[in-house]
Every structure is written in C-alpha cells, then in structure tokens.
Amino acid sequence: MAGLLLQHPLAHFALSPTQAVGNRVVAKTRSCSWRPMIQCVSSKQEGRTVVKNGKDSLDICRIVNGMWQTSGGWGKIERDNAVDAMIKHVDSGLNTFDMADIYGPAEDLYGMFINRVRRERPPELLEQIRGLTKWVPPPVKMTSNYVRENINLSRKRMDVSSLDMLQFHWWDYSNSGYLDALKHLTDLKEEGKIKTVALTNFDTERLQIILENGIPIVSNQVQHSIVDMRPQQKMAELCEATGVKLITYGTVMGGLLSEKFLDTNLSIPFAGPPLNTPSLQKYKRMVDAWGGWGQFQVLLKTLKKVASKHGVSIPTVAVKYILDQPAVAGSMVGVRLGLSEHVKDSNAVFALELDEEDVNSILEVSKKGRDLMEVIGDCGDEYRR
C-alpha cells in the first residue's frame, strides 16, 4: 500500500530518515529445507519457555513485559514508581522484561530494579528474572571495538555482568555489516558478556543467511497479532525447520484489541477513546491497512464473545491466540510502569485454553482482512520501505 507508514519503538528513535528507511531489497526467498547442524528447542512449562541453540539457552516467561512505554509519549514515568511496578510484576510471576538501548531510561530503570531485587528479595527469585535488551546501531562500520563498547554500555546501564539476551536490529540490508556485527556479538557471547544472541525485525531471507553463517540465533522478535499474521507465513516455515523461536510484540495492538475500543466509531471526532499514544497511533494504521475500523469491530465482537465464554478479557484472548501459534515462544505486553498495569489479564493467559470453536471463529474473521504480506511485505519490511 503506497504511503503506508508504520511507527515502532525502533522507527520512533531513528537517527535520520535515511538510516531508518534504508534501501528495500526485494529478492526471492530461498527454500526453507536447509537445517542447521544444531537445532534450537523450546520447552514450555508453567508459563515459561526455554529457547536454546546448541550450548546457549535461556528460560523466559511467556508473557514478556515490554518497556517501550518508558521512552516517552505514554505519560511521565516516575523512577521510584516505575521500579515499584517492576517489583510488583516480578512478585506476580511476570519476571521477564524487554527493553532497548534507545528506549529512553529503560535500561537504567532495569539496573535500579535489579539492584533492589538483590537487596530485598531472596536469591531464588533473582535467578528467575530475565532482562532482554536490544541494540539498534546506526549503519556504520561494525568493528569489534565499536560493538564491544556498545554492549558494555548496556551491561553498565542494566548493572549486569552478562546480558541475558541481546536482540540485534539492522536498518539497511544493502549494508552487509549486520553479519560483522553479529559475529562480534557471538564473540562477546563466548566471552560471557552475553548469554544468548537474538534478532529483532529481521525478515525470513536475512534470518536464513545469518543462520547459514553460523550465528547461533535463538529468537527473532517480530510484530504479530490476530490482525498481523505475517509471521505465520514464510517466517514460521523457516522457524519450524530450524527451531528458531519468535517473540512477538504488537500482540494487543497498543490496547486496540480491548473492550475499550469495542462498539466505538473513530470516524466521528471525539466520539471514541483518543488515540493518544504512539502505539495506538501506530496500530490504528495497521488496522487501516488490514481492513478498516468496521472490519476491526467485527473482530472485537468475536473476541468479546470468546472472552465472555471463558470469563476473561479481550486482551487475554488476543495474547493466548498468538502464543498458541507455531514457533511463538513469548508475547509482549507493554507496561506503563507506575501509570497502569495489566498483571491480572496477563496472568490469566496461562490458565486459558482456547477450544476448536474459539480458534475457528477468530480465524474466520482474521482471514477476512487483507493479507498484510502482500500489503507491507515480510516481517520487519515496514521499517525498511
């Protein structure tokens, strides 16, 4: 769709328009029959999953607390209140946090939080906490020293000796420096400064190239919701062949997939809830690309029927549906630390079992929307158009 612009925590902090957009590379996807010598595995038990590639492994909570919301645009985050909220999430069992070097104070907040856990909580609780971060460099020459300096900065901000997971983003595929960066990240993993190497917003073709270069990728973080089912096309095929797992974001579409937007008409000024956050604005554009607000209301009504049947909320159903998709290890739920929370809805996901009738009713509505693979392209292409 011409002129479609989708904002994201990464695009929101692009260093420049040229860096953010880059050159879109269109190439025929290779066959997914290739398999690495060592496959990744995922073991799901009691709301946790283990992603593993060879000797590298990490267990995470399947509901991941997303910290993009700390970067501004969702309301002022007070440091102490934010740390209190992080403690509350951990005490409720939601102990995996996702952040990035470009998400404002996110890594610093994690460092304050983890220090407080060390002081106030037993060691066994500390051992269950996971901090996943991203590195989003400009497309400059990826030397060993440059990569090391940036990873050391994240380690310092998060106050950890080793990053649990480093998820790497790259703006411009025409610049093959991403392979150099990933090789240096793998070296740092061997030194113990990173536990697992992962990707964010890479497409299927590049993921396969990276794996063929011997980089032990455990996961790829991509946009995935009932509206955006692109990852279940080419990406899922490669993931099933290699064992790489998906961590999804945008799964509740910034809150659009909720009772708050059911039976609303956004075409009438001031008639519906305001789209007053970067995530609501971003995912409203995704709704428009998929099928429009009218079709989206049909989806919300379907989800509400399923939610009422099980005594849960629409967001709980939306997250569970994606967690049940092939190759998905975990799904992100954004946290507005100290401002609002979704602890109850998030924990309800673990007890929810969608039956065949539920799945079929959701699938029927989902398929009535446009195929976003044709509209936008493969996973991550929305940031490289």
pLDDT digits (tens, 9 = 90+) for 187-244: 999 999 999 999 999 999 999 999 999 999 999 999 999 999 999 999 999 999 999 9
pLDDT tier at 6, thresholds 50, 70, 90: very low
3-state secondary structure of 59: strand
Cα-Cα-Cα-Cα torsion 313, 12, 183, 214, nearest 10 degrees, comes to 40
Cα separation of 65 and 80, whole Å? Answer: 18
Per the model's pLDDT, the better-predicted residue between 5 and 63 turns out to be 63
Report CA 349 to chain centroid distance, whole Å: 17
Q: What is the pLDDT of residue 11?
A: 38
Highest mean pLDDT among 2-16, 57-71, 299-313: 299-313
CB within 8 Å of 378: residues ≥ 6 apart: 29, 203, 204, 205, 230, 233, 234, 235
Query: What pTM did the predictor assign?
Result: 0.87
Q: Is the pLDDT of residue 317 over 50?
A: yes
Q: How many residues are present in the chain? A: 385
pLDDT tier at 78, thresholds 50, 70, 90: confident
Q: How many CA atoms lie within 13 A of 262 on its CB side?
A: 15
Q: Is the pLDDT of residue 84 over 70?
A: yes
pLDDT tier at 385, thresholds 50, 70, 90: confident
Which residues, in sequence order, are bridge partners of residue 165? 132
Q: What is the pLDDT of residue 370?
A: 97
Q: What is the mean pLDDT of the chain?
A: 86
Across residues 42-69, what is the average pLDDT?
84
Q: What is the pLDDT of residue 24?
A: 29
Across residues 366-374, what is the average pLDDT?
96
Cα separation of 310 and 52, whole Å? Answer: 33
Q: Is the pLDDT of residue 28 over 80?
A: no
Cα separation of 69 and 112, whole Å? Answer: 17
Cα separation of 312 and 259, whole Å? Answer: 11
Tell me the CA distances in angstroms from 93 to 26, 46, 75, 352, one per residue in order: 43, 10, 25, 16
Across residues 334-341, what is the average pLDDT?
63
Residue 130 is classified by DSSP as E
Write the pLDDT tens digit of every residue in 267-277.
776 677 888 78
Cα separation of 9 and 12, whole Å? Answer: 5
Across residues 18-24, what is the average pLDDT?
30
Q: What are phi and psi of 102, to 5 degrees?
A: -100, 5
Q: What is the pLDDT of residue 325?
A: 97
Q: What is the pLDDT of residue 340?
A: 53
Query: Measuring CA to CA, which residue among 348, 283, 354 is closest to residue 316?
Result: 348
CB 94 within 8 A of CB 60: no
User: Cβ atoms within 10 A of the Cβ of 319, count?
Assistant: 29
